[in-house]
Structure 1
Amino acid sequence: MARTIAKDHDQKRQSILSVAASVFAREGIARASMNQVAKAAGISKANIYHYYDGKEALLFDILDTYLSELNNRVTALNLDDMPPADRLHLVLREYLLAYEGMDFEHKIQSEGVSLLPQNMQKVLKAYQKDMVAQMSAILNAISDGKLGDNQQLLREVTMSVFGMLNWYYMWQPKATRADREGYARTIARLTVAGLPGVQNAG
């Protein structure tokens, strides 16, 4: 007979993911153990293995859940009929709001993706690719298509914008919603004002 799924299965799974993310972020993924996750979660190691067959599967589920939800949140924004600069501001704001409370997941993503098998990496990198493509398209639109003529420059500018987002996550962990919204405006204004100089640089 197939094992029935408990009614609180998803709730327990989400709790394990949250605790595991904190353990991985604190200890480092390579050093963290399933025993440490179980202890932090207040459950037995056997219970962890009821949900995941190992640390690799657990790490993948943390990152898959985090990146898929982030990707869906920002790429589902209705940007139609909106000036490019306003699109940029709205997307930046959504990223900063989405990052709130997700410090551990965000921290382990840079280390964790490369530790997974290629088939798992492919899934996670597809989410990242979607988000980079959205940002690149917005920045290219702000430049009236000029950045698109230099793909290397477009990528450099795109990743620099993500770098500013990551800076805020690293250095302002206690930022309020108002703080995050304010910084979204700062990044948007800085980017829009700076693009002409970047485009026209020799």
Structure 2
Amino acid sequence: MARTKAKDHNEKRDHILKTAAQVFATEGLARASMSQVAKACGISKANIYHYYDSKDDLLFDILDSYLKSLRDQIVAVPVNADDPVEELKSMLGTILIAYQGMDAEHKIQTEGISLLPEDQQIILKGHQREMVQRLNRILLSVEPEILEKDRGMLHATTMSVFGMINWYYMWNKTADKEARLKYANLVAKLTVNGVRGLDDM
């Protein structure tokens, strides 16, 4: 007979994911153990294994949940082809607000993805790719004639925008919503004005 899920299964899973992310970020993925996660969660090690067969499975679920949520929020930003500046502001503001409270998850994704089996890496990189493609489409709507012809420039511009957003996250983790939206507006204006000037290069 299949084991039935407890009514609070999802709540306990979410608690494990959030707590484990903190443990992995603090201790480092190589040093962190399932025993440490169980202790931090206030449950037994056996209970952890009721939810996850291994540390890799737990790590994957942390990153999959985080990146899927971020991707879903980004792709849900309304398309505004008539005003790409406003669309870009909305997208970047969405990212910076989504980063709030997700420091541990954000920290472990860089190291963590490469430690997982290839099939799981493909899934996680797919989430990241969808976010990059969403930004690509906005930038193409700003200056299609130049960026359509030079995909290398498009990719460099896209990743530079993510670089600015991640810089802000790294150095302004306590910033409130208003400050994050203000910076998103700055990056949007810098990006759009810069892209429109690419024909001078």
Provide structure 1 residue ranges, at least 5 long, that are not aligned to the other structure.
Answer: none
Aligned counterparts of 1:197 and 1:24: Cα–Cα separation in 2: 43
Mapping of residues 158-173 of structure 1, within 5 Å: 158-173=158-173
> What's 2:148 paired with?
148
- Give the alignment of 1:55-94 within 5 angstroms: 55-80=55-80, 82-94=82-94
Structure-2 residue corresponding to 1:116:
116
Measured after TM superposition, the shift of residue 193 of structure 1 is 1.8
Task: Choose 190-199 or 60-69, whichever is displaced more.
Answer: 190-199
SS of residue matched to 1:91: helix
Task: Give me the CA root mean square deviation.
Answer: 1.2
Q: Deviations over 1:137-182 (max 9, x none)?
A: 1111111331121111110000000001111111001010101111
Q: How much has 1:82 moved relative to structure 2?
A: 4.2
Tell me the equivalent position of 2:29.
29
| AA partner of residue 30 (structure 2) | A
TM-score (ref. length: structure 2) = 0.96
Kept in 1: contact 2:146–2:199 (CA 8 A) = yes
> Partner amino acid for 1:151?
R
TM-score by length of 1: 0.96
1:21-55 residue CA offsets vs partner (Å, 9 max, x unmatched): 01111111111111111111111111100000010
Letter in 1 for 2:93: R
Q: Percent identity?
A: 53
Give 5+ residue unaligned stretches, structure 2: none
Q: How many residues align?
A: 201
- AA in 1 matched with 2:125: K
Preserved contact between residue 132 and residue 158 of structure 1 (Cα < 8 Å): yes
Contact residue 147 and residue 199 of structure 1 kept, 8 A: no
